[in-house]
Amino acid sequence: MSDAPLSRELALRIGLAARSLPGIDAGTLIGIVVDAVGLPLTADKLNNLGMKAFRQAGGETLLPVAADDLKAALSFLRGKDLPEDEATPAIAPYADGDMPGSLRVACASNRGEDLDGHFGSCTRFLVYQVSPEEVRLIDIRATDGGTDAEDKNTWRTELISDCQVLHVVSIGGPAAAKVVRANIHPVKHAAGAKARDVVADLQKVLAGTPPPWLARAMGREATTLDPFREAAEQ
């Protein structure tokens, strides 16, 4: 068994699934899931877990369990029917060119659409495409794939290398340096926030007079940096 801790969301999925299976505790269920999908456990693996593989991995342990209970447990394991504030947000369709003059923004998150994550420990990055007229959540990038990376900060930076802005609760100096070198602008929100509120504020900046670096990313000519500097320093 891997020593890497489960993310908050995966632990929640497994805990709720175990409650749906009479006589089966979370520890036993983890063993079954590992047999079914292998290590490390990731959100993508659980999302694609099928009933046949689940039953086969459970063997005699799952034989007495009613079909409805198995379906409920598998639904939780796949990330469905979670409490609303824990559920994985829906991703909107997006293709390059859909939103001319837009920016790509990453938000460090641990649950729902909350901006509540530290760069080095968040369980995922919410990735938004933001223009003055529209905001779309276009991707959710889990960070559990970097558990064994030689340099986790580099791995996480590469994970969001297509983004121009990064919103986090906190980020250390060495990690921030890597992010900046990747042409990503980090902005800290020590108290956390709702990701949608943060990108809505950015949207207002884009609709007005964006700072030079934002304007360049949007293909526009800039006039001032002051408004965004003030926001970033707060």
**How large a percentage of the chain has pLDDT more than 70?**
87
Task: Give pLDDT, residue 4.
Answer: 61
Segment 106-121, tens digit of pLDDT: 999 988 899 988 998 8
Can you tell me the mean pLDDT for 56-79?
93
Q: The whole model's pTM is what?
A: 0.63
Q: Is 174 exposed, middle or buried (0-12, 13-18, 19+ CB in 10 A)?
A: exposed
Which tokens belong to 71? 């379906």
Residue whose tokens read 């837009």: 102
Can you tell me the mean pLDDT for 20-42?
93
Instruction: Go through the domains of the chain in sequence order and give each one's CATH number.
Output: 8-77 (1.10.150.590), 103-233 (3.30.420.130)
Q: Measure CA 62 to chain center.
A: 31
